[in-house]
Structure 1
Amino acid sequence: MTDKPTTSLTIRRPDDWHLHLRDGAMLRAVLPETARHFGRAIIMPNLMPPVVTAADASAYRARIMAALPADMSFTPLMTLYLTEDTDPADVAAAHANGIATAVKLYPAGATTNSASGVRDFEKVRPVLEKMAEIGMPLCIHGEVTHSDVDIFDREAVFIDKILKPIRKKNPDLRIVMEHVTTLDAVDYVRDQPKNLAATITTHHLIINRNHILAGGIRPHYYCLPVAKREQHRVALVQAAVSGDKRFFLGTDSAPHTDPNKLQACGCAGVFSASNTMSCLAEVFEAADALDKLEAFTSLNGPRFYGLSASDEAMTLTRGEPVTYPSHIATGDGPVTVFDPGFPLHWRVAD
């Protein structure tokens, strides 16, 4: 006699600990795709110009709330873009006043709109020391950008050359390694007893570099950090489904219009806000770990950030395949929704 397959799962409402909403017409179009399912999200600050100061973050938050449909509830958790000129006092005030939840570190040139990021890490030492003192987390895009480092090795080199020295000098600094993509990163997080966690994206649990390159270039799977070998994808799945409190969901859902993706030098980013929960349920079911989905999406993130888990519930049901739109329309142009490449039988119940 075999157990009947699970066809319904109720969890606390999830949060997204790494999200791009952009601004203007794009913001108005993509925000409902997240707010439909997620109660809170860490909002990335890499606008043009970037969200650097407390005043910038407060103004951006106001624009987000103005764009939120009246029948939806959602809390944006703002971040400040770390530059070599960032004022430690402004950062501390933003945190104390509830304006900014975290600070985001982009190595200069690492990804979309990161030109204002950090080149000399010694110049941001005072900010990092102040953050450690007040308990404010640092969210890191963990890649070096040196031209002599292979793009598939940039995360591992960052850990050795940048992250380890930062943590040695600031052991009390709370750090989130965002969108980890390698076994190296998973092992490093597992080896650290405190003050370090990692987010994992939906798409990195599903695609490897073959999805981007084998049989032709598929720009809608191109992201940064770029997807790696299959062994790394497997390591990410094992970390996500383990229940380990140091790993939690950060979709890195990053909308770009199709004209900006489909060109000679296309933008990096995968837009997955619409179907993330269906995709994740498939991944966790395949790993026989549906009972760990709530920890990954709804519990581990709030725990690391010192917040309470949601009091709201979400129910997912399994049945005939659910179809999501291939694109969403925005005032800036169409945005392609992430295609996992397999049927999605799980859906969020109304």
Structure 2
Amino acid sequence: MPDRHLTSLTIPRPDDWHLHLRDGEMLKAVLPETSRHFARAIIMPNLVPPVVSSQQAVAYRERIMAAVPEGATFTPLMTLYLTEATDPEDVRAAHTNGIATAVKLYPAGATTNSASGVRDFEKVRPVLEVMAEIGMPLCVHGEVTDNEIDIFDREAVFIERVLKPLRKKVPDLKVVMEHVTTQDAVDYVRDSHKNLAATITTHHLIINRNHILAGGIKPHFYCLPVAKREAHRVALVQAAVSGDKRFFLGTDSAPHTEANKLQSCGCAGIFTAPNTMSCLAEVFDAAGRIKKLEDFASLNGPRFYGLPPNDDTITLTKGDPVRYPTQIETGDGPVTVFDPGFDLHWRVED
């Protein structure tokens, strides 16, 4: 039966390979939106202060587990925030002891709470060499932050200026290019046949830069990396629906309160956790590749990280439009849920 005629799809329970949960009251409110559909998630460490040590990762994981709703099953996969002072042996111990699954590289100033990130990549090379030795992936926010580089070009420049030289110096390092946004990144991953993969977000499969800027500024579509031209969005969709094992889901779901989004210098981030699976099913269905959603959301990520797919499953069905709340309430204030701008006909069955 052709994909576009399917009205029901059962897949292994998906994982989210790039997720922001924040902390405190925000964590308590947003975690249930992920644990409802996802079994595991790579947890971003850019708290204030950032999660830079194994001890801090253990403490953060405990706070996350305390917020998991009763009856839910969810495994947070912790990451360490890479700084120029990161101890290679602490990283080794965190990986060996099952505390941290990956290390996260933020170029200093690239995104929310990234001031502690890396400026001199030679200073972190000893950490990267240890990671290559033990098979620990590096998750990369792939943008340069130089003021003279146009914000729409920062991913492409990062590949040429930072990522290619880094991977030549440490060729055995496993790298995940997170939230790729350009044809340049898609092509680079496709041309690399070892130790490189990429996550793609829900929202970058749906919006381009016109959604942010045309007809007035739409702050709830503002994220980093910023959405690019329509041609780049199309390239991301083609990569996602291809089934290529090097591309998998990382939502980069990033909650901010209305007060922090709607101001003269608003925060970057789009909150997609509640409706991601419906959005993805709509995108894959429109492309006539709904069966490939299993590869993208459930199989390719575990394969790259050396983990088994989840044993339990979810079922999506197609029917009347699904309604999601426009906002969720948190102890810190309301958070707006991503609006794809079209009806969602696929729902996750309870």
TM-score range, shorter chain: over 0.9
1:43-62 matched pairs, under 5 angstroms: 43-62=43-62
- Residue of structure 2 in register with 1:293 after alignment: 293
Distance (Å, rounded) in 1 between the aligned partners of 2:307 and 2:4 = 36
Measured against aligned partners, the alpha-carbon deviations of 1:251-278 in whole angstroms (never above 9, x if no partner) come to 0000000110000000000000000000
SS of 1:325's equivalent in the other structure is coil
Conserved 8 A contact 2:200-2:247: yes
Measured against aligned partners, the alpha-carbon deviations of 1:141-170 in whole angstroms (never above 9, x if no partner) come to 000000000000000000000000000000
Conserved 8 A contact 2:4-2:285: no
**Residue 259 (structure 2) pairs with residue 245 (structure 1):** no
Distance (Å, rounded) in 2 between the aligned partners of 1:228 and 1:273 = 22
Per the alignment, do residues 3 and 92 of structure 1 end up closer, same or farther by CA in structure 2, a change over 3 Å counting? Answer: closer
Distance (Å, rounded) in 1 between the aligned partners of 2:29 and 2:60 = 16
Conserved 8 A contact 2:19-2:253: yes
Letter in 1 for 2:296: F
**Residue 95 (structure 2) pairs with residue 78 (structure 1):** no
Distance (Å, rounded) in 2 between the aligned partners of 1:99 and 1:179 = 24
Distance (Å, rounded) in 1 between the aligned partners of 2:90 and 2:30 = 30
1:17-32 matched pairs, under 5 angstroms: 17-32=17-32
Distance (Å, rounded) in 2 between the aligned partners of 1:9 and 1:309 = 17
Q: Using the TM superposition, give the Cα deviation of residue 24 of structure 1 relative to its aligned residue in structure 2, in angstroms.
A: 0.2
Distance (Å, rounded) in 2 between the aligned partners of 1:318 and 1:168 = 46
- Residue of structure 2 in register with 1:119 after alignment: 119
- Residue of structure 1 in register with 2:177 after alignment: 177
1:305-344 matched pairs, under 5 angstroms: 305-344=305-344
- Residue of structure 2 in register with 1:39 after alignment: 39
Letter in 2 for 1:282: E
Measured against aligned partners, the alpha-carbon deviations of 1:259-305 in whole angstroms (never above 9, x if no partner) come to 10000000000000000000000000000001100000000000000
Per the alignment, do residues 336 and 171 of structure 1 end up closer, same or farther by CA in structure 2, a change over 3 Å counting? Answer: same
Normalising by structure 2, we get a TM-score of 0.99
SS of 1:347's equivalent in the other structure is strand
Q: Using the TM superposition, give the Cα deviation of residue 5 of structure 1 relative to its aligned residue in structure 2, in angstroms.
A: 2.2
Measured against aligned partners, the alpha-carbon deviations of 1:119-178 in whole angstroms (never above 9, x if no partner) come to 000000000000001000000000000000000000000000000000000000000000
Distance (Å, rounded) in 1 between the aligned partners of 2:262 and 2:3 = 46
- Residue of structure 2 in register with 1:302 after alignment: 302
Distance (Å, rounded) in 1 between the aligned partners of 2:2 and 2:291 = 18
Per the alignment, do residues 294 and 4 of structure 1 end up closer, same or farther by CA in structure 2, a change over 3 Å counting? Answer: closer
Q: Using the TM superposition, give the Cα deviation of residue 70 of structure 1 relative to its aligned residue in structure 2, in angstroms.
A: 1.2
Letter in 2 for 1:270: I
Measured against aligned partners, the alpha-carbon deviations of 1:78-110 in whole angstroms (never above 9, x if no partner) come to 000000000000000000000000000000000
Q: Using the TM superposition, give the Cα deviation of residue 2 of structure 1 relative to its aligned residue in structure 2, in angstroms.
A: 9.3
Q: Using the TM superposition, give the Cα deviation of residue 40 of structure 1 relative to its aligned residue in structure 2, in angstroms.
A: 0.1
Letter in 1 for 2:11: I
Distance (Å, rounded) in 1 between the aligned partners of 2:346 and 2:5 = 13
Letter in 2 for 1:319: G
Q: Using the TM superposition, give the Cα deviation of residue 71 of structure 1 relative to its aligned residue in structure 2, in angstroms.
A: 1.4
- Residue of structure 2 in register with 1:6 after alignment: 6
- Residue of structure 2 in register with 1:65 after alignment: 65
Distance (Å, rounded) in 1 between the aligned partners of 2:3 and 2:347 = 22
Distance (Å, rounded) in 2 between the aligned partners of 1:280 and 1:138 = 26
- Residue of structure 2 in register with 1:96 after alignment: 96
Q: Using the TM superposition, give the Cα deviation of residue 248 of structure 1 relative to its aligned residue in structure 2, in angstroms.
A: 0.1
Distance (Å, rounded) in 2 between the aligned partners of 1:263 and 1:102 = 34
Measured against aligned partners, the alpha-carbon deviations of 1:160-206 in whole angstroms (never above 9, x if no partner) come to 00000000000000000000000000000000011000000000000
Distance (Å, rounded) in 1 between the aligned partners of 2:255 and 2:89 = 33
Distance (Å, rounded) in 1 between the aligned partners of 2:92 and 2:304 = 19
Conserved 8 A contact 2:253-2:272: yes
Distance (Å, rounded) in 2 between the aligned partners of 1:73 and 1:130 = 32
Conserved 8 A contact 2:54-2:90: yes
Measured against aligned partners, the alpha-carbon deviations of 1:9-68 in whole angstroms (never above 9, x if no partner) come to 100000000000000000000000000000000000000000000000000000000011
Distance (Å, rounded) in 1 between the aligned partners of 2:135 and 2:2 = 49
Gaps of 5+ in 1: none
- Residue of structure 1 in register with 2:167 after alignment: 167
Conserved 8 A contact 2:13-2:313: yes
Gaps of 5+ in 2: none
SS of 2:277's equivalent in the other structure is helix
1:122-137 matched pairs, under 5 angstroms: 122-137=122-137
Distance (Å, rounded) in 1 between the aligned partners of 2:193 and 2:200 = 19
Conserved 8 A contact 2:137-2:175: yes
SS of 1:220's equivalent in the other structure is helix
Distance (Å, rounded) in 2 between the aligned partners of 1:19 and 1:67 = 15
Per the alignment, do residues 3 and 99 of structure 1 end up closer, same or farther by CA in structure 2, a change over 3 Å counting? Answer: closer
Per the alignment, do residues 121 and 313 of structure 1 end up closer, same or farther by CA in structure 2, a change over 3 Å counting? Answer: same
Q: Using the TM superposition, give the Cα deviation of residue 3 of structure 1 relative to its aligned residue in structure 2, in angstroms.
A: 9.1
Distance (Å, rounded) in 1 between the aligned partners of 2:290 and 2:194 = 27
Distance (Å, rounded) in 2 between the aligned partners of 1:113 and 1:291 = 37
